[in-house]
Copies of this chain bind each other. A is one copy, B any other.
Amino acid sequence: MSATKILDTLLAISRLLEQDQQRELERRGLTVPRTHLLWVLYHGGPATQAHLAEAVGVTPRHVTTLVDALENTGFARRKPHPSDRRAVLVHLTERGLSEMESMDAEHKALGANLIAGLSDDTITATRTALTQILERLTSLVDDHTARAESEERDR
């Protein structure tokens, strides 16, 4: 009984989730990074590109590319910032908003569907395990980040 069984199953689930997500997005004319940006707008309201770069975790330059694409496909729009003439505010169009709403609903349905039929005990134990795994992974990634940064400083 290999110790990596759970990790392997998690990885298999990750791949399928990503695969399914990508297909659903493609069907709507979206991509993962663009949707990530829309998601930030959906939850945080109109924002400057500098803010979006920070929130999505890409360079400000790349936000320009993503917003260009989202404007061309009608999911978002730029408008001038009311008080800072350097900046723009990016906001969802009606189409962008309704896509986000329906994706939100699909997400909730999927979550319920995947665990339907499992006993309460099983669900509770799973939640416990996943929470620990998430914590360990988080600290692991933090460690690696710290190490990478210290290596960078050494150069």
Measuring CB to CB, which residues of chain A are less than 8 angstroms from any residue of chain B? 2-14, 16-20, 23-24, 27, 107-108, 110-115, 117-118, 121-123, 125-134, 136-138, 140-141, 144-145, 148
Q: Is the CB of B10 within 8 A of A13?
A: yes
Given A10-B10, A19-B141, check contact A129 B136 (CB 8 Å): no
Q: Which of A14, A133, A134 has the most CB of B within 10 A?
A: A133
A36 to chain B, nearest CB (A): 11
**Can you show 16 pairs from A to B with CB atoms below 8 A apart?**
A3-B108, A5-B127, A6-B111, A7-B110, A7-B111, A9-B130, A9-B134, A10-B17, A11-B17, A16-B137, A20-B137, A23-B148, A115-B133, A125-B125, A126-B126, A126-B130
CB-defined contacts of A3 to chain B, threshold 8 Å: 108, 111-112, 115
Inter-subunit contact A4/B129 (CB<8 Å): no
A10 touches B144 (CB 8 A): no
**Closest beta carbon of chain B to A141's beta carbon, Å:** 5
Give chain B nearest CB distance to A101 CB in angstroms: 15
- Quick check: B108 and A20 within 8 Å, CB to CB? no
Count of chain copies: 2
A125 to B126: give the CA distance in the assembly, Å.
6
- Residues on B with C-beta less than 8 A from A136 are 113-114
Of the candidates B12, B132, B134, the one whose C-beta lies within 8 Å of that of A117 is B132
For the complex, what is the distance from the CA of A144 to the CA of B17, rounded to whole Å? 12
Cross-interface CB contact of A129 among B110, B122, B148, cutoff 8 Å: B122
A115 vs B133: C-alpha distance when bound (angstroms):
7
